Amino acid sequence: DIVMTQTPLSSPVTLGQPASISCRSSQSLVHSDGNTYLSWLQQRPGQPPRLLIYKISNRFSGVPDRFSGSGAGTDFTLKISRVEAEDVGVYYCVQGTQFPRTFGQGTKVEIK
Amino acid sequence: EVQLVESGGNLVKPGGSLRLSCAASGFPFSRASMNWVRQAPGKGLEWVGRIKSKSDGGTADYAALVKGRFTISRDDSNNTVFLQMHGLETEDTALYYCTTGAADYWGQGTLLTVSS
C-alpha cells in the first residue's frame, strides 16, 4: 500500500498569513495514464470532508484561489496564501493512483 | 446540485450485521464509480472500498481490513449504493461516508457504533 505522510500535523497560523502543508508518498503517484492522482481535502469542524484540489494543482469548483497545490512524483504541497478564519480545520492529502486509496494522517490548521 | 445522503447507521453488537445506504442525485449515477470512506471518532479518514460503474464492469475493491466481511453493491435504477457489513467488530465503529469516484462529493455520513 502507498503510505502518505503529512507534515506538520499541526499548524498554528496568524490570520492573513500563509500556511503550507507537505505530503509525501512512499512511491510515485504517477499513474500509467500519465496523470498524478493526488488530491487535497478540507474538513472543517463537524463537517464532512470537501475536495479542494485534484490532480496536484487543480482547484475544485468554488474553491477560493488562495488555495494552491503543487508538486510531482512523491512530494506535494498545499498552500494557503492568506489564512482566513473559515480555513480552520483538518487537511488531508489522498492518493487515487493505486488501490487501496490511502490518506495522509491529516494536518490541523488553527488560528494562533 | 449533487447530493449524497447516507442512512442505516445504528448501534450493533460485535459479530452483528448492518447495511448502509447512500442515495445519490444530481449527477449521472449509473456512470459513476462510488466509494465508501470511514472515520473513527477523533481519527483520520480510511478508505473502505469502491464499486465501479456497470459499464466499467461493476466490480468492487476493498480495504484489507474489511475484505471478506463487507460487500458494496449498487442499484442504478434507484441511484443508490449499499455497504453490507458482516462480522462487525468494535474497530468498525465510525462515521461512514459515501463519496463519488474521485472524492469530489461527500455525503454527511451515517454513524455505526459496534458495542456490546
Grid cell, residue B48, equals: 473502505
Contact A51 B97 (CB under 8 A): no
Q: What pLDDT is attached to residue B52?
A: 97
In angstroms, what separates the C-alpha of A106 from chain B's closest C-alpha? 6
Grid cell, residue A43, equals: 474538513
CA–CA distance from A40 to each of B23, B81, B114 (Å)?
A: 25, 24, 30
Asked if B27 is an interface residue toward chain A (Cβ–Cβ < 8 A), one would say: no
Q: Which chain A residues are closer than 8 Å to B67 by Cβ?
A: none
Residue B65's pLDDT band (boundaries 50, 70, 90)? very high
Residue B102 has pLDDT above 90, yes or no: no
Q: What pLDDT is attached to residue A42?
A: 98
Contact B44 A39 (CB under 8 A): no
For every residue of B37-56, which 3-state class applies, written as one string?
EEECCCCCEEEEEEECCHHH
CA–CA distance, A75 with B41 (Å, rounded to integer): 29
Size of interface A-B (CB pairs under 8 A): 51
Mean pLDDT across chain B? 97
Q: What pLDDT is attached to residue A14?
A: 96
Give the tens place of pLDDT for each residue, A26-36. Answer: 999 999 999 99
Give the tens place of pLDDT for each residue, B71-98. Answer: 999 999 999 999 999 999 999 999 999 9
Give the tens place of pLDDT for each residue, A44-92. Answer: 999 999 999 999 999 999 999 999 999 999 999 999 999 999 999 999 9
CA–CA distance, A79 with A94 (Å, rounded to integer): 16
Q: Which chain A residues are closer than 8 Å to B108 by Cβ?
A: 48
Residue with cell 503550507: A20
Contact A103 B108 (CB under 8 A): no
Contact A48 B97 (CB under 8 A): yes
Residue A111 has pLDDT above 90, yes or no: yes
